[in-house]
Each structure stands twice: as C-alpha cells, then as structure tokens.
C-alpha cells in the first residue's frame, strides 16, 4: 500500500473485517453458554442469530480490527473484541426498533426482530446480546492480559451507557416531543453520545489491544471522535437524499417527527460542509499515528463514511 488506498482495496479490507466478524459471531453464538439440550431454547437462539448475523457494513468491527493492525495485533482475540462491539450495536438496533421506541418494521431490508418474532423476544434478544458482549470481552481468549481486558470492558460500558449510547438515545426520544427546532449544539452533543461513543470505542479498543502509547492514543481518540461525528451527519444527509429502496428504511421519516438532525439545524449545505470538515479532521489526526503508511486504510475509512450511499 503506497501513500493512499484505492477504493477497491478499501472495500476488500472492509469485507474482510465483516467476514471475520461474521465468522466469529457465528461461532460465539453456537458456543453461547447454554445448558443441556432439555433446557435449550432453540427459537430464541435463532432470534439472537437473526438479529446479529448476515447484515450491516460492520463498520465498528472494521475500525477496531484496522486500528489494532496499526500496532501489529491481529487474529481471534481482536475478532472477539470486534464481535462484542457489534453485539452492542445490534442490541441497540433491536431495542431502538421496538414499538415503544422508533417502531420500525424494517431493518437492513428485513423485518425487525420484534416483527420477525415478537416483542418479548426482541427485548430479551437485546438484553442477551448486551450481556454476552461483556462475557466475550472479558474472556481470556480476547487478550491474555487482564488489565487490557478490564480496560476494554470499562470503555465499552461507558460508550454504551448513560454517558454514551443510551444517554444519546434518551436525548433523542426527549427531542422528539420538543415543539421548537433543535439547536446545532444540542444535536452535536446528542450524536456524539448516540453513535459517536461506540464508533470512538471501536478505535480506542484497537489502540488498547495494541498497547498504544499516550500520543498514539490521543491521535486515535481524535480520529475516532471526528469520524463518529462525520458518520452521523452523513446519516442525516442520507436520510434526506436517499430514496426508500436504497436505504432499506422509510426515508424522510426523521423530518416527520421533529427528530434532532443536523440537516434540520444547519440546512443541507451546512450539514455537508460539516461532514467534509469532520472527515478532513479525522484524516489529519492520523498524521500523528505511529505507522503512517498503515494508517492509510483508516484515512480511507473517513472518506468512505463521508461519501457512503447507505
């Protein structure tokens, strides 16, 4: 790889990370700690697999895997940490789609878990994926060093918790009932929590597994934050631009509900400018990365996040 990564090379690496994650998830969900056959609930395990296998770009696993690779770390341990962050992502989608929350019938072009199964199953599938993510992350197979694993666990709990993803989801729900348009500052804070925190975690987790030193950790944290923010504003733009078929969910839905989006707060052009500025900031942060050549793939990820069509 030279001074840049072609789009085709990037797509191949994204696919490789998705495949590694899928294989690991599949294996982990076969090996899920269930007791003997008499008590094994097969329909439920099928619902857990339905909710986590066979879909999505696996962007979070990709970021974790490629960041760890900057430090020469790869293999099953990294794939386990990657599968765990994807479990957290999938659980959040299953719960967000529930009737009491976003009430979505489709996800990635398929019926959502509560539509394909039922609400009780969807609630418990989310709980199971969230809980299993911590089991997998804390297992010695993820990293032999307990200090590394416990750092991953706490960073994951914080990214997923009240100060991160759940907090963002709560703000998002409260925002819907507001009668006034939302200020950009509020939407930025909300998005940093709702989607930014877990994307940032993915990059940080790669750095933790890679035993990154302070300056590398700081540069990668900056990259993760900018990338996470770029991702969400790109999502807001896509919601306005994309047609329903391409996105696999009903486009324009956000605008119907006074959703807190940056397109609403900044206008379409303002949002595009912000997206491009954030992608550039993510790329610039990597000039301080330990291995500039290897970091090219993460730079391409920032470009991909900004220009993606779904």
Q: Rounded to whole angstroms, how far apart are CA atoms 7 and 291?
A: 20
Name 107's bridge partners. Answer: 110
Please identify which residue in 11, 19, 127, 244 interacts with a copy of itself, judged by CB under 8 A: 127
Please identify which residue in 9, 44, 105, 184 interacts with a copy of itself, judged by CB under 8 A: 44
Question: What contacts 182, CB < 8 A, 6 or more positions away?
Answer: 175, 258, 260, 264, 265
| Degrees, nearest 5: CA angle 71-72-74 | 115
For 159-309, strand residue ranges (E) read none
Name 110's bridge partners. Answer: 107
Does position 186 bind a copy of itself by CB under 8 A? yes
Does position 178 bind a copy of itself by CB under 8 A? no
Q: Which residue, 300, 307, 122, 117, is CA-closest to 223?
A: 300
166: number of Cβ within 10 Å: 16
CB of 165 to a copy of itself, least distance (A): 8
**Residue that has been written with the tokens 């962050």 in this structure:** 85
Please identify which residue in 157, 251, 268, 288 interacts with a copy of itself, judged by CB under 8 A: 157
Residue 194 token pair:
């709702």
Show the binding pattern over residues 77-116: x = contacts a copy of itself (CB under 8 A), - = does not: ------------------x--x-xx---------------
Does position 181 bind a copy of itself by CB under 8 A? no
Does position 144 bind a copy of itself by CB under 8 A? no
Residues contributing to the site for a copy of itself (CB under 8 A):
32-35, 38-39, 41, 43-45, 48, 95, 98, 100-101, 118-120, 123-124, 126-128, 130-132, 134-135, 138-139, 146-147, 149-150, 153-154, 156-158, 160-164, 166-167, 169-171, 173-174, 185-186, 189-190, 193
């Amino acid at each position: 790889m030279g001074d840049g990564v072609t789009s085709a090379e990037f797509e191949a690496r994204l696919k490789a990370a998705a495949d590694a994650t899928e294989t690991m998830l599949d294996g982990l969900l076969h090996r899920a700690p269930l007791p003997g056959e008499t008590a094994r609930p097969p329909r439920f395990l099928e619902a857990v697999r339905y909710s986590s296998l066979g879909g999505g770009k696996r962007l979070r696993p990709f970021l974790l895997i490629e960041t760890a690779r900057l430090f020469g770390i790869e293999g099953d341990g990294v794939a386990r940490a990657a599968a765990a962050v994807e479990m957290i992502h999938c659980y959040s989608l299953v719960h967000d789609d529930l009737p009491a929350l976003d009430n979505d019938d489709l996800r990635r072009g398929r019926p959502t878990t509560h539509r394909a199964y039922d609400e009780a199953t969807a609630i418990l599938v989310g709980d199971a994926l969230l809980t299993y993510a911590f089991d997998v992350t804390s297992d010695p197979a993820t990293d032999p060093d307990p200090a590394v694993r416990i750092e991953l666990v706490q960073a994951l709990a914080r990214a997923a918790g009240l100060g991160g993803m759940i907090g963002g989801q709560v703000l998002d729900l409260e925002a819907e009932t507001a009668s006034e348009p939302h200020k950009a500052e509020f939407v930025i804070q909300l998005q940093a929590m709702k989607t930014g925190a877990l994307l940032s975690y993915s990059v940080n987790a790669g750095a933790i597994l890679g035993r990154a030193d302070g300056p590398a950790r700081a540069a990668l944290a900056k990259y993760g934050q900018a990338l996470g923010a770029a991702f969400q504003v790109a999502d807001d733009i896509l919601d306005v631009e994309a047609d329903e078929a391409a996105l696999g969910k009903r486009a324009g839905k956000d605008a119907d509900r006074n959703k807190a989006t940056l397109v609403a707060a900044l206008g379409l052009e303002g949002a595009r400018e912000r997206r491009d500025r954030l992608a550039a900031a993510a790329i610039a942060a990597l000039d301080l990365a330990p291995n500039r050549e290897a970091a090219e793939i993460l730079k391409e990820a920032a470009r991909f996040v900004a220009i993606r069509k779904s």
